[in-house]
Chains A and B, each alone.
Chain A
Amino acid sequence: MGRYLLRRLLQLVPVFIGTTFLIYWLVWSVPGDPFAGKCGDRRCPDTYINFMTEKYQLDQSIWVQYATYMKNLFQGDFGVTYNNRAVGDIIATAYPNTLKLAVVALAIEAIIGLSAGVLTGLRRNGFLDNLVLVSTLFLIALPVFVIGFILQWLLGVKWGIVDPTVSSEMRFSELLLPGFVLGSASMAYVARVARTSIAENRRADYVRTAIAKGLPMRRVVGVHLLRNSLIPVVTLLGTDLGALMGGAIVTEGIFSINGIGRAVLRAIVTKESATVVSIVVVLVLVYLLMNLLVDLLYAALDPRIRYE
């Protein structure tokens, strides 16, 4: 177990360097001088363009730029944006917001998706099963922004039940609606995967044995059935946290949440390599660590899986 963990952690190093360079190179190769369009429809003075190009070392080769960036990164300096704000500050304010949103979304999708999946898996072909089938189809078919706009307009503008957008305090109650929107598609998948998995395992030998030895139904479902059926669901949920954080751009836009999606979009448009890479680096780390966590959880859930 210890060796496995160490090996996985060491694997993070090349992945980390590879992704950061790839992203740096991608942003670098976006065509256009980042400062040429800064003055609107008026041409920017050459003195301004030169000043900024030199200040941000954009006249150097990509290798020099990347090396400087990495050197500063390891000293804890994420660089500065073109309007001279520390990227570290932007990450420090934006990340917790996105994380909060993603965790709320994850919680909603886990609770609703899992209960819907278990209920329908146990009682297949009933009214509830059909209802869940239709509503999950609906959620999967609709793009996130459609659900977002409709719910925002209905609940926020038309009926005035909630604020249409999230305030900068990011209160938990305000995040329920955006969290639901963000998690809606995954929620549908969780429900479906859980349903199939439960339905399949219900006919497994160990479940029949458990019922035959006279265990109460609650224990059969809660311990024997659920634990084994959870593996695909946990995989889905675990990798989803990363996907939710990365995919929050649209939801953050609709509900005006100051998260990383917004920050990274702004940075891509203005070609701020330091900002894009720094934000994505942290995102990549979340992905990698969540994947590791999921793999470790398998062992806890399924006694047949052992790592060495």
Chain B
Amino acid sequence: MRVSKRASGAIALGAAFALVASGCSSSDDGGDAGNSADGAITVDGTEPENPLVPANTTETGGGKIIDWMWTGLVEYPNDGGAPRNALAESIETADSKVYKIKIKQDTKFHDGTVVKAKNFVDAWNWGAHSPNGAQNSSFFADIQGFEDVNTSDPDGADGPQKAPEPKAKEMSGLKVVDDWNFEVTLTAPTAVFPTKLGYSTFMPLPDAFFAGKAEDFGKKPIGNGPVKFVSWENNVSIKLTRFDDYQLRDKMKIKDVNVKISQDDTAVYSELVSNNIDFQQQVPVSALAGDKWKQDLGERAVSSVAPVTGIIAFPIYDKRFTDPKLRRAVSLSINRQEITDKIFFGNRKPADSWANPLAPGAAPGNCTACQFQVDEAKKLLAEAGGFSGEMVFYYNADASHKEWMEAVAQQVKTNLGINARAEGVPTFAVFRQNINAHKMKGPYRAGWQQDYPDVENWVNPLYVTGGSSNDGLYTNKQVDALAKEAGAAPSLDASHAKFAEAVKLIDADAPSIPVYFSGQQSGHSEKIKKMELTNVGELDITTVEL
């Protein structure tokens, strides 16, 4: 239903008058249950880059749909804290190596079939099996028998040789006990494993998935979450509707969710301001200057912190950057406050810790290398023997990184006297290819969004030798040892204590430079009376009330 703009404008004006007259605010009193029950919202989205299969989606356009359509074993609270059981009845372990997982009985997939233990085991085996080419296959590397199902290419993706056919199709560490119980054996003790299980890669898949082709399933996905799939029209919209058989905690309060696919965020913003769309996750940069978005949206503006850190990484494989003193000197010479104030208008915060401060186990302010101390920086640079030649800071020029990267280079130049400048690489694809191939010739822009809330996610992938995103090839045996001990720790608390020690060593070595914590500036329409954002800043559609 679309009301003509003039008519709805008049209604809004009337409503605004009524509010002023009665002297109450609309923000906290929640929605009207009657309005909500059959209500529909239209939210902003982008075209998914891959067929909608959980283990094969890493970008936000499709990731959001997957997150809404599936419920995993555990869920992450919206406040960013420790995970709690969702579909899991219990997850038990004696040694952090063998996990006994019991799932809630008789919950259903959207096609009516029951979610059983084997749906998890089969889904994980599919995701790990290398011929299936899933983007998230490395998430299963903890599980025993992963090497047998996932073979790596002997000469990398660019080389002429092909990966050998894997020996097995199923990981030996996964065992179905009965319909509601299964057992997972890991290669090494990993205390954080249950926390990982809320990430979309670990979602169950219905039998229908295994009957056909994954890419066909991805056109009409069947999940087990609070909303089910209705239709996907290319580049136009994805329609979802409430799954009435859903039995878990987070039931939908409204009925339909229509994801309107668009490419231009300023167009979406115009729709948001005029109440033609109900939610935009990130308002465009043009609306941020001078806090224009707050004036435009008033109470409909939602400011939040996203668990994303903007980082500059060092190519430690380059001999010029092996000295930790030099790296620390560069880090200490950057005035982060000035960058976030002047370039991001205060919408991002200066980074002062290695992990996102909200993640369990993280310690706010533990990044001493993130301080702004020019004298100390100069001293360290002198101790390191100075830096000869040009220090080039690289970024991908197809996104808005130019300004802040140039500011960083300028500060390094002014404060340390190093001949520094920033240079854009035309596209992200080329940029990423060079990073993968370890061909970067200077510090480069990186970023990290946590996959699951735990300090482990900010250490192991980034700073442990062989970590999946340790692209700068940083290696410190003590950090590796501590991370290993942290994994084997009997409890999460003990594990966090070990990680804290590891982070201290990382802080001294400064293998990368955390620069800012991302903020998110969203907005919703007048129609939405109540809503929350998830821990990664997506709209939590189950909290929406009209």
Contact = CB atoms under 8 A, between A and B. Distances in A.
A265 B5 contact: no
B529 to A, nearest CB: 22
B135 A45 contact: yes
Interface string A23-34: 000000011111
B157 interface: yes
A44 B135 contact: yes
B91 interface: no
Task: Tell me what chain A mostly uses at the interface: helix, strand, loop, or mixed.
Answer: loop
B5 A32 contact: no
Interface in B153-171: 153, 156-158, 162-163
B263 interface: yes
Interface stretch (B26-34, B178-186, B441-449): B441-449
Interface in A154-172: 156-157, 160-165, 167-168
A36 B436 contact: yes
Given A38-B59, A42-B469, A165 B433 contact: no
B512 to A, nearest CB: 12
B58 A39 contact: yes
Interface stretch (B232-240, B354-362, B491-499): B232-240
Interface stretch (B411-419, B421-429, B531-539): B421-429
Contacts of A270: 49
Interface residues of B, number: 70
Contacts of A48: 56, 133-135, 137
A51 B235 contact: no
Contact of B435 (A43, A49, A93): A43
For A83, A168, A255, which residue has the most chain B Cβ atoms within 10 angstroms?
Answer: A83
Contact of A42 (B5, B58, B152): B58
Given A32-B427, A168-B237, A47 B130 contact: yes
Interface in A164-194: 164-165, 167-168
Interface stretch (A103-111, A126-134, A256-264): A256-264
B235 A262 contact: yes
A170 to B, nearest CB: 10
B425 to A, nearest CB: 9
B219 interface: yes
Interface stretch (A7-15, A63-71, A84-92): A84-92
B47 A40 contact: no
Contacts of B134: 45, 47-48
B271 A165 contact: yes
B273 interface: yes
Contact of B430 (A32, A38, A45, A162): A32
B319 to A, nearest CB: 23
Contacts of A271: 429
Contacts of A149: 266
A211 B449 CA distance: 79
Contacts of A38: 49-50, 58-59, 135
Nearest to B59: A40
B130 to A, nearest CB: 4
A37 B236 contact: no
Nearest to B10: A160
Nearest to A166: B267
Contacts of A47: 130-131, 133-134, 137, 150-153, 163
Interface string A133-167: 00000000000000001001100110011111101
A52 interface: yes
Interface string B263-287: 1101110110110100000000000
A83 B47 contact: yes
Nearest to A81: B234
A83 B51 contact: yes
15 contacts: A33-B158, A40-B449, A41-B469, A46-B153, A50-B162, A53-B157, A82-B49, A82-B50, A83-B49, A85-B219, A152-B270, A157-B273, A160-B6, A163-B5, A253-B263
